[in-house]
A and B are shown apart, each in its own frame.
Chain A
Amino acid sequence: MDFSLSMEQEILRKSVREFAENEIRPVARELDEKEEFSYETMAKMAELGLFGMFVSEKYGGQGMDYLSYIIATEELARVDGSHAATVAAGNSLGIGPIYYFGNEEQKQKYLPKLCSGEALWGFGLTEPNAGSDAANSKTTAVLDGDEWIINGSKIFITNASTKISAGVTALCRTGTRDDGRPELSCILIETGTPGYEARVMHGKMMWRASNTSELYFDDCRVPKENLLGPRGQGFYQMMQTLDRGRLSIGAMGLGGAQGCFEMALKYAKERVQFGKPISHFQINSFKLADMALEIECARLILYKACWLCDNNKPFTKEAAMAKLYCSEVMYRCANHAVQLHGGYGLMKEYDVERFYRDQKLLEIGEGTSEVQRIVISRLIGAV
Chain B
Amino acid sequence: MNIIVCLKQVPDTETQIKIAPDGKSIVTDDIKWIMNPYDEFGVEEALRIKEKFGGEVTVVSLGPKRVTETIRTALAMGADKGILITDDALEGSDSLAVAKALAAAIKDLEYDLIFTGQRGIDEDQGLVGPSLAEMLGIPHVSLVVKVEVAEDGKSVKVERPVEGQTLVIESPLPALLTAQKGLNEPRYASLPGIMKAKKKPLEEKSLADLGLDPSEFGEGARKLKILEITPPPERKAGKIIEGETPQEKAAELARLLHEEAKVI
Contacts and interface: CB of A to CB of B under 8 A. Distances in A.
Contacts, number: 49
B191 A7 contact: no
Query: Interface size bucket, B side?
Result: 10 to 19
Query: Interface size bucket, A side?
Result: 10 to 19
A14 B34 contact: yes
B192 to A, nearest CB: 5
A11 B190 contact: no
Interface of A is mostly: helix
A48 B68 CA distance: 22
Nearest to B186: A18
Task: With a 10 A CB-CB cut-off, give which of A15, A47, A53 has the most chain B CB atoms.
Answer: A15
B20 interface: no
A117 B34 CA distance: 29
A333 interface: no
Interface in B27-48: 34
A62 B191 contact: yes
A49 B189 CA distance: 10
Contact of B195 (A47, A50, A63): A63
A11 B69 contact: yes
Interface of B is mostly: helix
A19 interface: yes
B192 A15 contact: no
A301 B6 CA distance: 40
A24 to B, nearest CB: 12
Contact of B191 (A10, A14, A18, A72): A72
A12 B190 CA distance: 8
A8 interface: yes
Contacts of B192: 49, 62
Contact of B190 (A7, A8, A14, A47): A47
Contact of A15 (B68, B189, B195, B198): B189
A64 interface: yes
A247 to B, nearest CB: 18
A133 B83 CA distance: 58
B69 A10 contact: yes
Given A7-B69, A48-B191, A49-B191, 4 more contacts: A8-B195, A10-B69, A14-B34, A15-B189
B116 to A, nearest CB: 22
A57 B197 CA distance: 14
Contact of A19 (B72, B188, B193, B197): B188
Contacts of A19: 188
B194 interface: yes
B73 interface: yes
